[in-house]
Amino acid sequence: MEQMKDSKVYIDKVAPEHLSTKVISGALYIHNGKDTQEKLDRTEQVLNKLGSKLAAYSMALLVLPELIKKTQQTDEYKEFENKLHSQTVH
């Protein structure tokens, strides 16, 4: 358990604020709610405990996969991806 505590201190020392252990723990706590209502309740708890800035980071982590998926479906992203592939040396 001591090593885990040391890891948390280290992460919080070197990671940017939006990747702190508080933010990640908040996102996991919300994510692991059993249903939508529990997730909403947990979101409010995280907001009250961490404050609006860190709670926003936690919620942003939760929507990131959907945001990436939507971004990858845009013409702009597809153009960018094609450009990258054409510039890559195989």
- 69 assigned to some structural domain: no
- 76 assigned to some structural domain: no
- 85 assigned to some structural domain: no
Q: Looking at the 3D structure of the chain, how many domains does it have?
A: 1
**Domain region containing 20:** 2-63
Task: Kindly report, residue by residue over 48-69, the tens digit of the pLDDT.
Answer: 999 999 999 999 999 999 999 9
pLDDT > 80? residue 90:
no
Q: Tell me how crowded residue 31 is: count the other CB atoms within 10 A of its CB.
A: 12
- 8 assigned to some structural domain: yes
- 30 assigned to some structural domain: yes
- 26 assigned to some structural domain: yes
pLDDT > 70? residue 3:
no
- 21 assigned to some structural domain: yes
- 56 assigned to some structural domain: yes
Give the whole-angstrom CA distance, residue 79 versus residue 90: 19
Helix spans in the chain (H): 2-14, 21-31, 36-50, 52-72, 75-87
Interior angle at CA 53, CA 51 and CA 59, nearest 5: 95
**3-17, 33-47, 53-67 — which is least confidently predicted?**
3-17
